[in-house]
Amino acid sequence: MSVFSQRPFSERTATWLAQSGLHPLLARLYAARGLQSPEELSLDLKQLLSPIELKNCISTASLLADILENQEPMLIVADYDCDGATACAVGLRGLRMLGGPETPIQFLVPNRFTMGYGLTPEVVELAAQQHPKPKYLITVDNGIASEAGVDRARELGMEVIVTDHHLPGDHLPKALAIVNPNQPGCSFPSKALAGVGVMFYLLVALRAELRKRGKFTNETQPKVENLLDLVALGTVADVAQLDRNNRILVSNGLKRMRSGISQPGIQALFQAAIRDPRKANTFDLGFAIGPRLNAAGRLADMTLGIRLLLTDNSDEAMTLAHELDRINRERRVIESGMQETALSHLAEDQLSGTLSERNSICLWNPEWHQGVVGIVASRLKERFNRPAIVFAPADGNTGEELRGSGRSLTGFHLRDALDLVSKRGPGLILKFGGHAIAAGLTIRKDDFERFDACFQQVATELLTDELLKRHHAHDGMLEPSEFTPAIGDLLAEEIWGQGFAQPVFYGEFEITQQSLMKEKHLRLLVRPIGISEPKTSNKPLTAVWFNRTQSLPAKAKLAYRLVTDRYQGQTRVQLMIEAHDEPLASEGSTE
């Protein structure tokens, strides 16, 4: 069942924001997203929260200053997703900026297929073999749950500095220092920093410490803000909550992209994705640039992606970006096949009536690729509006373990649900970690059915009928004068994302024409109904509903995004349909 509701907002606040100079439409949208005053509109870097409240950030910066002064060898241990890759690049570039080009620092990315996630003992063993052997390991976007890895590092004579943003387990690792806004006792007001944001904050604090020690002045200090394009990319791609602090980071990173002064690797990714960096927005980062970088970690080795973000050579950047684009196309083919198999299996459950009785989805297949399970889980969660976990063999078809990735609904905390499963069935989950809406885990192949039953039981207990409804929040109707390319451009320039939702509008339309594009996308011509529209502007509007083949009735109430489409020199407004409020006869079908 779908529920449509308009986001409430204060007319008084919207008027106040508009009087400050904000476009009236944006004033309404911002008021609906919780802004209270014109002062909150500023996304200037000076408005960033101070590193002082980020627990251990200042003391860790002092420690790093000592390490740089003594030129002791360091190694960054990265994660294999976009957040981890950008955090690694920010760390390497920033430490070399602040310590000088001769700073002895290397990086290492674990192979997700053989070493698993985080600073495992196996990763530590590999780190110890680097030359020169690092004295300090610095984790980025991981490490908060790596008790065994930190212990092993200390046994081998290496100390660990953890920078992370994930939720901690019951016990913290015995690291030399931990910087994580989500660790116990941290009063930092923004818990939404991505891993790359945490690393950036540590560099800001380190620069201040070095300035205090007389290495730089305000005038001569390195510009760590030049790394904000990387921070913006990692933050958006990791679907971090866009509270004001993160929106400041992302806004300033996008400014660098739009000004043509971003890292050569990011410029190359825009070119490979056939996107214009001068019009860079959060949609580009989340759905075009991020996935190409992530593809390396999913199918190959994220070292490729980090090399791209570290190079200052434009030709090398283009070569690496095109390779990532090729890997991403391969990822799409694999994902499509896995999704088709999953939907076929679920169609059988639907025919037998068991799917409608379930509050969760758990699937595995011996042929599936563990690097793509998270994407498929996300697609299934969106399609069926149920928490979904998809598994693949951990070590090929002969392995005894399954690695899974899950995606959840708002209101059903996936990591907490897995924690409950692990407590009810000791040993059932070999390891797990993650967030409220996404998590990863490992189980034994022979335990799949038992895990499925236990997870389903937890989902049944915790999911209410209200949570299982498909909720569509929208921003009301647009005025006739607002169906323009200028409004599409206005909306595209703003910072939208998780927790600061991209605007979705709602209205009734007459469907004057509909056809299929590439046999899988619905293309429509529509006219708004119920608003007084001058004859001169009563031309049909183009609309597209991706991944839908079923036609719509002659009149339909639609939820849609408004975008500006530029094609072959022509500019026009276009509606990107998200949903319509009549229940679909084939909802949940395989179409």
Predicted pLDDT at 27: 97
Amino acid letter for position 114:
T
Mean pLDDT, rounded, for 198-216: 98
| pLDDT classification of 349: cutoffs 50, 70, 90 | low
Predicted pLDDT at 582: 67
> Of the given ranges (277-291, 363-377, 441-455, 571-585), which has the lowest mean pLDDT?
571-585
Mean pLDDT, rounded, for 230-259: 97
Q: How many CB atoms lie within 10 A of CB 42?
A: 11
Contact 476, 505 (CB under 8 A): yes
Helix (H) or strand (E) holding 249: helix 244-258
Predicted pLDDT at 581: 81
Question: What CA–CA distance (Å, rounded) separates 41 from 29?
Answer: 12
Predicted pLDDT at 462: 95
Mean pLDDT, rounded, for 334-338: 94
Predicted pLDDT at 211: 98
Average model confidence (pLDDT) across the chain? 92
- Is the pLDDT at 586 greater than 90, yes or no? no
Mean pLDDT, rounded, for 239-266: 97
Mean pLDDT, rounded, for 402-408: 95
Question: What CA–CA distance (Å, rounded) separates 323 from 488?
Answer: 32
pLDDT digits (tens, 9 = 90+) for 167-198: 898 899 999 999 999 999 999 999 999 999 99
Considering the chain, what percentage of its residues have pLDDT values greater than 70?
95
Question: What CA–CA distance (Å, rounded) separates 119 from 79?
Answer: 9
**Full-model pTM:** 0.91
* Residue 510 structure tokens: 């007459």
Predicted pLDDT at 405: 95
- Is the pLDDT at 324 greater than 80, yes or no? yes
Q: In DSSP terms, which residues pair with 574 in a beta bridge?
A: 542, 563
Question: What CA–CA distance (Å, rounded) separates 290 from 229?
Answer: 12
- Is the pLDDT at 590 greater than 70, yes or no? no
Q: How many CB atoms lie within 10 A of CB 565?
A: 15
Range 176-215 burial, b when 16+ CB lie within 10 A, else e? bbbbbbbbeebebebebbbbbbbbbbbbbbbbbbbeeeeb
- Is the pLDDT at 55 greater than 90, yes or no? yes
Helix, strand counts (H, E) of the chain: 19, 17
238 closest CA partner among 319, 294, 318: 294
Question: What CA–CA distance (Å, rounded) separates 322 from 319?
Answer: 5
Q: Which has the higher per-residue pLDDT, 288 or 435?
A: 288
| pLDDT classification of 119: cutoffs 50, 70, 90 | very high
Considering the chain, what percentage of its residues have pLDDT values greater than 90?
83
Residue/partner pairs of 28-37 with CB below 8 Å, 24 or more apart: 28/475, 28/476, 29/475, 29/503, 32/7, 32/8, 32/475, 33/7, 33/500, 33/501, 37/13
Q: In DSSP terms, which residues pair with 139 in a beta bridge?
A: 77, 162
| pLDDT classification of 583: cutoffs 50, 70, 90 | very low
Q: How many CB atoms lie within 10 A of CB 508?
A: 17
Helix (H) or strand (E) holding 74: strand 74-77
- Is the pLDDT at 278 greater than 60, yes or no? yes
Mean pLDDT, rounded, for 338-359: 79
Predicted pLDDT at 397: 56
Predicted pLDDT at 180: 98
* Residue 68 structure tokens: 């740089």
| pLDDT classification of 585: cutoffs 50, 70, 90 | very low
Mean pLDDT, rounded, for 433-462: 93
Predicted pLDDT at 1: 65
Tell the residue number behind the tokens 């980025």, with chain if given: 140
Question: What CA–CA distance (Å, rounded) separates 122 from 148?
Answer: 10
Question: What CA–CA distance (Å, rounded) separates 156 from 365?
Answer: 39
Contact 580, 557 (CB under 8 A): yes
pLDDT digits (tens, 9 = 90+) for 412-429: 999 999 999 999 999 999
Contacts of 321 (CB under 8 A, 6+ apart): 265, 268, 269, 271, 272, 292, 308
Predicted pLDDT at 557: 94
Alpha helices in 7-146 (DSSP H): 11-19, 24-32, 57-70, 82-99, 121-128
Mean pLDDT, rounded, for 494-511: 95
pLDDT digits (tens, 9 = 90+) for 124-158: 999 999 999 999 999 999 999 999 999 999 999 99
- Is the pLDDT at 268 greater than 90, yes or no? yes
Mean pLDDT, rounded, for 474-487: 94
> Of the given ranges (87-101, 115-129, 316-330), which has the lowest mean pLDDT?
115-129
Mean pLDDT, rounded, for 521-531: 89
Helix (H) or strand (E) holding 177: strand 177-179
Question: What CA–CA distance (Å, rounded) separates 260 from 313?
Answer: 15
* Residue 53 structure tokens: 């409240």
Predicted pLDDT at 591: 29
Mean pLDDT, rounded, for 252-268: 98
* Residue 102 structure tokens: 């001769």
Predicted pLDDT at 113: 77
Contacts of 182 (CB under 8 A, 6+ apart): 144, 165, 166, 167, 168, 191
Predicted pLDDT at 532: 55
